[in-house]
């Protein structure tokens, strides 16, 4: 029976939709009419394709409408394959049809492919295919295809996915920040705990000494005690200032704002500042400068602290011999090496001396209040400048500390 409803035209084989409706559903003419209306109403594309002849037998108008053509336009298999189907999807489409030749009666094949709208933009379709008719020998003759435009659905899913990915990245960033803060808090609480411990011993010595002083009558013993208190106070104030520097360094989150500095000039000034400490020992202090040493970029206060710590250590851990501060430039770097002929450092200690609160065993017994923070401070400062500090040492013979600044 031919379908004559003017709103529902099957251009290629006008009698097939009716047969489709009748054959499959065994409906009366009233029901056929309803089925035709339903096919007309649906925005999905419904079509029957002849697999053997590679020919689109019939379809409703949805494809034409969805692709921006008037409902009288006829989009046949040639136009689909050679004009509107995305070139990259031709093989997907062909493969799908080929697969359907071997499908079971109840099997539903599914693919998605892109078709070009009349406005030039690509639309994404999801297609479900089922066997409609077989030849007498059982081979597949025709398939029924239902295609749905899922462009918006796909785009909003992609947008949602992108939104989710963005939110996830933001949350990951926030979580990382919180973890970093937590780590910093833990480090700070460890630091505060350690500093409390480091301060306790000298404070006890001071308190006890003050108590004893009140009871002492011998002026010589009093002088001795006073000297102890004086030393402890001096070292305590050094310790507190070191803790202060380290906490300040820890709170620097932005790169430092550097100024141009001459390392040779700074070292010359420091040598003058330390003249009395050097003179108290049998030490020779040598400055060996490269004349054409390029200036470094750095924070004046921090660079002076780093230089002072390394030079003071060299003086402190050497009783006699020579301390040499040598500057050179090589491979776009300015290098300072401070060599001493002091007590040296055991290899097992050398690996740890840049760690916070690390003190070598002999130093712990020393009356000097040393928290093992000086070199940790230097390391921190050098890293803030994009540079480094390393140490080499031979126990009993001396040490070399090398500081490198990038140019």
- Residues 273-312, one symbol each (x = binds ligand ADP by CB under 6 A, - = not), give ------------------------------------x---
Q: Residues 388, 394, 399, 400: is their CA dihedral positive or negative?
A: negative
| Cβ 266 to ligand ADP shortest distance, Å | 19
* CB distance 46 to 59 below 8 Å: yes
Among all residues, whose Cβ is closest to ligand ADP?
374
**Where would I find the beta strands (DSSP E) of 256-384?**
259-261, 282-288, 296-298, 320-330, 333-340
Binding residue (CB under 6 A) for ligand ADP from 363, 388, 392, 395:
363
Token readout for 63 is 């494809």
Q: Which two tokens stand for residue 307?
A: 């230089």
Does 380 bind ligand ADP (CB under 6 A)? Our answer is: no
Strand ranges of the sheet holding 140-149, from the earlier edge strand across to the other edge = 55-59, 45-50, 140-149, 122-134, 109-116
How near is the Cβ of 352 to ligand ADP at its closest, in Å?
8
Shortest gap between Cβ of 321 and ligand ADP (angstroms)? 11
Which CB atom, from 264 or from 313, has the smaller least distance to ligand ADP? 313
Q: Does 314 bind ligand ADP (CB under 6 A)?
A: yes
C-beta of 36 vs 393, nearer to ligand ADP: 393
Choose the stretch contacting ligand ADP; rule: CB under 6 A; options: 73-81, 114-122, 326-334, 367-375.
Answer: 367-375
**What distance, in Å, lies between the first and last C-alpha atoms of the chain?**
91
Task: Verify binding: residue 17, ligand ADP, rule CB under 6 A.
Answer: no
Q: Is residue 370 involved in binding ligand ADP (CB under 6 A)?
A: yes
What is the length of the chain? 407
In angstroms, give the least distance from the CB of 202 to ligand ADP: 13
The yes or no reply on residue 403 touching ligand ADP (CB under 6 A) is no
Q: Name the one range near ligand ADP by CB under 6 A: 82-90, 109-117, 359-367, 381-389.
A: 359-367
Positive or negative: CA dihedral 293, 295, 301, 305: negative
Exactly one of 18, 21, 140, 373 binds ligand ADP (CB under 6 A); that residue is 373
Q: Which of 61, 96, 148, 359 binds ligand ADP (CB under 6 A)?
A: 359
In 3D space, the residue among 358, 377, 366, 373 whose CA is nearest the CA of residue 201 turns out to be 366
Work out which of 375, 381, 384, 389 binds ligand ADP, going by CB under 6 A: 375
* Measured distance CA(91)–CA(33) in Å, rounded: 37
Residue closer to ligand ADP (CB basis): 307 or 375: 375
Q: How far is the CB of 220 from ligand ADP (least distance, A)?
A: 31
CB of 309 to ligand ADP, least distance (A): 6
Contact 166, 174 (CB under 8 A): no
By CB under 6 A, is residue 115 in contact with ligand ADP? Answer: no
> To the nearest whole angstrom, how small is the minimum distance from the Cβ of residue 358 to ligand ADP?
6
- Alpha carbon distance 174, 168 (integer Å): 10
Q: Which of 17, 202, 298, 372 is in the footprint of ligand ADP by CB under 6 A? A: 372
| Distance, C-alpha 380 to centroid of its chain | 22
Q: Which of residues 325-354 bind ligand ADP (CB under 6 A)?
A: 340, 342-343, 345, 353
Q: Which of residues 38-97 bind ligand ADP (CB under 6 A)?
A: none
What are the phi and psi torsion angles at 140 (to 5°)?
Answer: -75, 130
Q: Is 360 in the site for ligand ADP (CB under 6 A)?
A: yes
**CA atoms of 153 and 60, how far apart (whole Å):** 22
- 85 vs 93: CA distance, rounded Å: 9
Identify the CA nearest to 137 among candidates 19, 58, 49, 52: 52
Q: How would you class 157 by CB atoms within 10 Å of its CB: exposed for 0-12, middle for 13-18, buried for 19 or more?
A: exposed
CB of 359 to ligand ADP, least distance (A): 4
**217 vs 336: CA distance, rounded Å:** 52
Q: If binding is defined by CB under 6 A, does position 229 make contact with ligand ADP? A: no
Residue 175, helix vs strand vs coil: helix
User: Given the rule CB under 6 A, which residues bind ligand ADP?
Assistant: 309, 313-314, 317, 340, 342-343, 345, 353, 358-360, 363, 370-376, 399
């Amino acid at each position: 029976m031919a379908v004559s409803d003017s709103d529902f035209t099957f251009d290629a084989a006008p009698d097939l939709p009716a047969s489709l409706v009748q054959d499959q559903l065994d409906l009366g003419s009233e029901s056929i009419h309803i089925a035709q209306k339903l096919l007309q109403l649906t925005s999905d594309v419904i079509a029957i394709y002849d697999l053997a002849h590679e020919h689109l037998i019939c379809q409703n108008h949805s494809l034409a409408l969805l692709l921006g053509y008037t409902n009288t336009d006829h989009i046949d298999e040639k136009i689909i394959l050679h004009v509107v189907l995305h070139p990259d999807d031709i093989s997907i489409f062909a493969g799908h049809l080929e697969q359907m030749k071997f499908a079971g009666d109840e099997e539903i094949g599914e693919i998605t492919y892109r078709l070009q709208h009349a406005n030039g933009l690509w639309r994404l379709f999801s297609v479900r295919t089922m066997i409609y008719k077989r030849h007498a020998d059982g081979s597949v003759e025709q398939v029924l295809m239902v295609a749905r435009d899922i462009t918006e659905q796909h785009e909003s899913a992609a947008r949602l996915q992108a939104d989710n990915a963005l939110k996830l990245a933001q949350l990951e960033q926030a979580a990382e920040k919180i973890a970093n803060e937590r780590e910093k808090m833990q480090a700070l609480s460890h630091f505060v705990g350690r500093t409390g411990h480091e301060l306790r011993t000298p404070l006890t010595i001071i308190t006890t000494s003050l108590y004893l002083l009140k009871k002492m009558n011998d002026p010589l013993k009093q002088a001795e005690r006073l000297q102890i208190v004086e030393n402890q106070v001096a070292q305590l104030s050094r310790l507190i200032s070191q803790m202060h520097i380290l906490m300040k360094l820890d709170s620097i989150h932005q790169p430092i704002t550097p100024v141009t500095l001459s390392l040779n000039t700074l070292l010359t000034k420091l040598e003058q500042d330390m003249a009395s400490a050097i003179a108290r020992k049998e030490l020779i202090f040598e400055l060996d400068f490269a004349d054409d040493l390029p200036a470094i970029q750095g924070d004046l206060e921090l660079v002076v602290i780093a230089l002072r710590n390394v030079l003071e250590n060299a003086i402190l851990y050497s009783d006699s011999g020579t301390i040499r501060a040598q500057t050179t430039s090589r491979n776009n770097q300015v290098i300072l090496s401070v060599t001493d002929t002091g007590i040296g450092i055991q290899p097992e200690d050398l690996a740890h001396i840049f760690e916070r609160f690390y003190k070598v065993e002999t130093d712990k017994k020393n009356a000097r209040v040393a928290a093992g923070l000086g070199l940790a401070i230097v390391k921190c400062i050098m890293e803030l400048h994009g540079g480094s500090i390393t140490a080499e040492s031979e126990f009993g013979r001396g040490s070399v500390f090398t500081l490198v600044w990038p140019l």
